[in-house]
């Protein structure tokens, strides 16, 4: 497997990303038992969120482009499955996932990649299935550029910051149940810094009446 720019963030005795899972996913999993259904963790990184999904009774499947991240994730979350994949070309059958979680991944895509990712996420999520998103808001300090006084994450990977109205438009195949912004101090990776995130919980529209798949690939 070829290395990616993200690989170094998962190496060393003090890796960049810590193991604290995303709070909104923890809350969701506490209220929605998996009952053996499939759940997708896009950009799974070290496996911290796949652990949450597996513990809630889902067959957790994590995807990431970093081979180093996947090696760490397989150690951290041995009860989950992990596949190297890009969100713009997911290697899964249509309508297979009851839950798809996407944490700060779509902001790394350009306009074309973002459109392709939404198509893929819509394709693999079953009708009535949940889509959970947390990503960088246009109000995030990093959106002001690297010279901002509190430029929390002006990473070369970030190409997009989201407006709530934009998300309503691009997620046309989903019905948004809840959308909100949070300002938080982030100490899960690197020095403590500030983020403003937009978060949402949506459900895949049920216009597709075909039965959900039960085989993952």
Statement: residue 132 has pLDDT above 70? yes
Statement: residue 16 has pLDDT above 70? no
Q: Would residue 13 count as lying in a domain?
A: no
Q: Would residue 141 count as lying in a domain?
A: yes
pLDDT of residue 8: 55
78's tokens: 């041995």
Q: Would residue 209 count as lying in a domain?
A: no
Q: Would residue 2 count as lying in a domain?
A: no
Query: Considering the chain, what is the average pLDDT of its residues?
Result: 86
pTM: 0.86
pLDDT of residue 168: 94
Statement: residue 34 has pLDDT above 90? yes
Eight-state DSSP code of residue 10 = G
Indicate which CATH number applies to the domain containing 187. 3.40.50.150
**Sheet holding 174-186: strands in order across?**
81-84, 59-64, 38-42, 97-103, 125-136, 193-204, 174-186
Measure the CA–CA gap between 54 and 39, rounded to whole angstroms.
8
Measure the CA–CA gap between 123 and 86, rounded to whole angstroms.
14
**Cβ atoms within 10 A of the Cβ of 28, count?**
18
Beta strands (DSSP E) in the chain are 38-42, 59-64, 81-84, 97-103, 125-136, 174-186, 193-204
Statement: residue 212 has pLDDT above 60? no
Number of domains in the chain: 1
Q: Which domain holds residue 182?
A: 21-204
Q: Would residue 212 count as lying in a domain?
A: no
Q: Would residue 149 count as lying in a domain?
A: yes
pLDDT of residue 185: 82
Statement: residue 207 has pLDDT above 90? no
Contact yes or no for 55/177 (Cβ under 8 A): no
pLDDT of residue 191: 72
pLDDT of residue 149: 47
pLDDT of residue 1: 44
Q: Would residue 210 count as lying in a domain?
A: no
160's tokens: 């997009």
Measure the CA–CA gap between 51 and 20, rounded to whole angstroms.
10
pLDDT of residue 71: 93
Q: Would residue 9 count as lying in a domain?
A: no
Per residue in 141-183, pLDDT (tens digit) is 888 765 554 544 556 678 899 999 999 999 999 999 999 999 9
pLDDT of residue 4: 57
Per residue in 61-109, pLDDT (tens digit) is 999 999 999 999 999 999 999 999 999 999 999 999 999 999 999 999 9
């Amino acid at each position: 497997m070829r290395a990616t720019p993200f690989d170094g963030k998962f190496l060393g005795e003090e890796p960049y990303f810590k193991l604290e899972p995303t709070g909104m996913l923890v809350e969701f999993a506490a209220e929605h038992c998996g009952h053996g259904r499939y759940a997708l963790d896009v950009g799974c990184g070290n496996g911290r969120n796949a652990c949450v999904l597996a513990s809630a009774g889902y067959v957790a499947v994590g995807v990431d482009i970093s081979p180093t991240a996947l090696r760490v994730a397989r150690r951290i979350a041995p009860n989950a499955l992990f596949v190297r994949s890009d969100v713009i070309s997911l290697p899964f059958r249509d309508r297979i996932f009851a839950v798809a979680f996407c944490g700060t991944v779509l902001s790394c895509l350009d306009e074309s990649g973002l459109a392709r990712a939404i198509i893929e996420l819509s394709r693999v999520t079953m009708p009535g299935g949940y889509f959970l998103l947390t990503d960088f808001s246009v109000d995030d300090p990093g959106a002001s550029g690297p010279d901002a006084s509190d430029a929390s994450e002006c990473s070369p990977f970030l190409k997009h910051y989201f407006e709530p109205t934009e998300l309503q438009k691009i997620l046309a195949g989903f019905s948004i149940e809840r959308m909100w912004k949070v300002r938080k101090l982030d100490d899960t990776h690197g020095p403590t810094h500030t983020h403003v995130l937009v978060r949402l919980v949506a459900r895949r529209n049920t216009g597709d009446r075909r039965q959900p798949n039960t085989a993952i690939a």
